[in-house]
């Protein structure tokens, strides 16, 4: 046993105690974060515009600071991008995480010297909590990989600019640098397919123990490994026993991953974003991820079905309920104030506070008032293929409002790894699960407003070809699970089975 794995266990125990301390005092912890944010923010341009010097309570904050998305904060961000100091947070950010916005073009999300460490510590702590729970630390001796964007950064008025995953690559601890793959040169390759081919060549001879990334792109890596060797991934990497993922729900991919690997491996789910690292899975046998209450982020929540009301009610963790779909609003040490990141979450527990990501507030289907969300379609798919040999590569859902004949319906575009004997039987099972989960959808089917869903089969590698055709192959890009229009559906028709 190496010195690294020996030291990992007492360190994991220490971190577990620290986490338990704030997790057992959630309200007090969040109040402390709130007060520190307001105190620091009072000297900024945003704080002066919103009278932070008069804010002494959460109620006053709600009255002074409206909920905004990126568009609402854009005028302040533009000043920061131009090089102005003390606009949203004290001084200047050390980075901008550049993301693609659908309505805003490129987004420049500030990362400050106060917020950056929380991204790194949360990822580290997720692994340490796994070590503490399972006692398994052997993997720290092997090689580990994170499939991510290029670490090459540009500069904007003295501030480094790049993708979040590329920024984080600069913060790999020294004790892990020898274990980490891919090499810097390979990581800098911009073309995703070329990059994955290079990663395959680099990792094949190595003892890979941890593999991490967005499931859809890790799946592409696994498939290339299998094509090159004719072996299961678990046979290539005999000590690979931990998969770390974030960005999407793993469950729709789990059956295919286990088939590609050839055995089950433990997994850790993360909830990172450019705006902050919000949660990570702290227990293997508990549903949901531990909400990071002590990471310089103050959380608010609005019920998703009330979000588009004129004055929706804003609440803190003190008043949330398990199982309710909430839009998550954040204020952070990066200078985001009452900021809507666009995600919807549900609490699975409140002692401690654990969450699952249920979707995006803009990603839903409600063409007829059904308001179907991402979590529901993923659960319906999972229910339908459970205890079968059916394996799904990828899927997305869109409304078909004007069919050539019959009633409107939801169209499910599915790429199969292992097809069902009958797609109509699968469609019926999915539809039944969706009706059981969503009473609005059930009523529309019962009332003959909608007919049951239909499946359109996407050809093998069709989703990858689609993402490539729109310039979003690899990295942190992912296909939306569902949408309320036909934009994605129409562009996918070039890649369906004829």
In whole angstroms, give the CA distance from residue 96 to residue 107. 9
Whole-angstrom CA distances from 80 to 37, 90, 112, 419 are 18, 11, 12, 51
On whether the CB atoms of residues 107 and 330 are closer than 8 A, the answer is: no
pLDDT at residue number 219: 87
pLDDT at 359: 81
Cα(21)–Cα(283) distance, integer angstroms: 16
Predicted local distance difference test score (pLDDT) of residue 176 = 65
**Pairwise CA distance, residues 456 & 46, whole Å:** 49
What is the model's pLDDT at position 100? 61
Query: What b/e sequence results for 353-390 when a residue is b if at least 16 CB atoms lie within 10 Å of its CB, and e otherwise?
Result: bbbbbbbbbebbbebbebbbbbbbbbbbbbebbeeeeb
Give the residue from 320, 319, 324, 341 showing the smallest Cα distance to 332: 341
Question: What does the pLDDT read at residue 175?
Answer: 62
d(CA 148, CA 407): 43
**374-385 and 251-261 are packed helices; what angle lies between their axes, rounded to 10 degrees?**
40
pLDDT tens-digit profile, the chain (498 residues) = 455 667 888 999 999 999 999 999 999 999 999 999 999 999 999 999 999 999 999 999 999 999 999 999 999 999 999 999 999 999 999 999 987 644 446 789 999 999 999 998 998 999 999 999 999 888 888 899 988 778 888 888 889 998 888 888 888 766 666 788 888 899 888 888 899 999 999 999 999 999 998 887 888 899 999 999 999 999 999 999 999 998 777 877 788 899 999 999 999 999 999 999 999 999 999 999 999 999 999 999 999 888 888 899 999 999 999 999 999 999 999 999 999 998 899 999 999 999 998 887 877 787 887 878 888 898 999 999 999 999 999 999 999 988 888 999 999 999 999 999 999 999 999 999 999 988 889 988 988 889 999 999 999 999 988 988 888 776 667 788 888 888 888 889 889 987
Q: Which two tokens stand for residue 346?
A: 């549900």
Q: From CA 301, how far away is CA 313, in angstroms rounded?
A: 8
Strand partners, 155: 160
**Residue 425, Cβ neighbours under 10 Å: how many?**
11
> What's the confidence (pLDDT) of residue 201?
95
Is 212 in contact with 245 (CB distance < 8 Å)? yes
């Amino acid at each position: 046993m190496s010195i690294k794995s020996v030291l990992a266990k007492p360190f994991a125990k220490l971190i577990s105690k620290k986490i338990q301390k704030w997790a057992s005092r959630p309200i007090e912890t969040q109040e402390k974060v709130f007060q520190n944010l307001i105190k620091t923010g009072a000297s900024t341009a945003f704080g002066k515009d919103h009278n932070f010097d008069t804010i002494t309570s959460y109620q006053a904050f709600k009255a002074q600071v409206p909920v905004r998305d990126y568009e609402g904060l854009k005028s302040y961000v533009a000043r920061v991008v131009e090089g102005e100091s003390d606009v949203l947070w004290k001084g200047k950010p050390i980075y901008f995480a550049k993301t693609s916005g659908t309505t805003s073009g490129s987004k420049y999300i500030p990362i400050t010297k106060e917020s950056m460490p929380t991204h790194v510590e949360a990822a580290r702590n997720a692994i340490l909590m796994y070590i503490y729970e399972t006692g398994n630390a052997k993997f720290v001796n092997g090689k580990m990989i994170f499939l991510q964007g290029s670490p090459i950064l540009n500069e904007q008025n003295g501030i480094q600019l790049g993708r979040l995953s590329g920024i984080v690559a600069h913060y790999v601890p020294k004790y892990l640098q020898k274990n980490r793959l891919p090499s810097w040169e390979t990581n800098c390759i911009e073309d995703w397919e070329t990059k994955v081919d290079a990663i395959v060549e680099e990792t094949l001879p190595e003892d890979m123990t941890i593999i991490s990334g967005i499931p859809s792109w890790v799946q592409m890596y696994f498939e290339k490994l299998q094509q090159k060797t004719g072996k299961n991934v678990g046979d290539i990497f005999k000590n690979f026993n931990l998969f770390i993922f974030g960005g999407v729900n793993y469950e729709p991919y789990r059956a295919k991953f286990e088939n590609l690997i050839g055995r089950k491996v433990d997994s850790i789910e993360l909830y990172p974003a450019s705006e902050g690292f919000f949660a990570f899975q702290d227990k293997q046998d508990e549903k949901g991820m531990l909400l990071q209450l002590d990471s310089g982020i103050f959380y608010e929540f609005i019920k998703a079905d009330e979000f588009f009301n004129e004055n929706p009610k804003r609440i803190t963790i003190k008043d949330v309920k398990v199982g309710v779909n909430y839009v998550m609003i954040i204020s952070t040490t990066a200078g985001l104030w009452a900021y809507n990141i666009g995600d919807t979450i549900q609490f699975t527990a409140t002692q401690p506070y654990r969450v699952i990501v249920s979707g995006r507030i803009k990603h839903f289907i409600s063409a007829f008032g059904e308001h179907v969300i991402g979590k529901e379609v993923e659960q319906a798919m999972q229910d339908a293929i459970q205890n079968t040999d059916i394996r799904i590569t990828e899927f997305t859902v869109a409304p078909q409002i004007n069919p050539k004949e019959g009633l409107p319906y939801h169209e499910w575009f599915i790429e199969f790894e292992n097809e069902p004997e009958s797609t109509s039987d699968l469609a019926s099972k999915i539809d039944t699960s969706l009706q059981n989960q969503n009473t609005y959808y059930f009523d529309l089917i019962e009332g003959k407003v909608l007919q049951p869903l239909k499946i359109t089969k996407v050809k093998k590698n069709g989703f990858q070809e689609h993402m490539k055709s729109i310039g979003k192959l690899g990295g942190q890009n992912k296909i939306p699970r569902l949408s309320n229009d036909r934009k994605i559906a129409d562009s996918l028709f070039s890649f369906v089975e004829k």
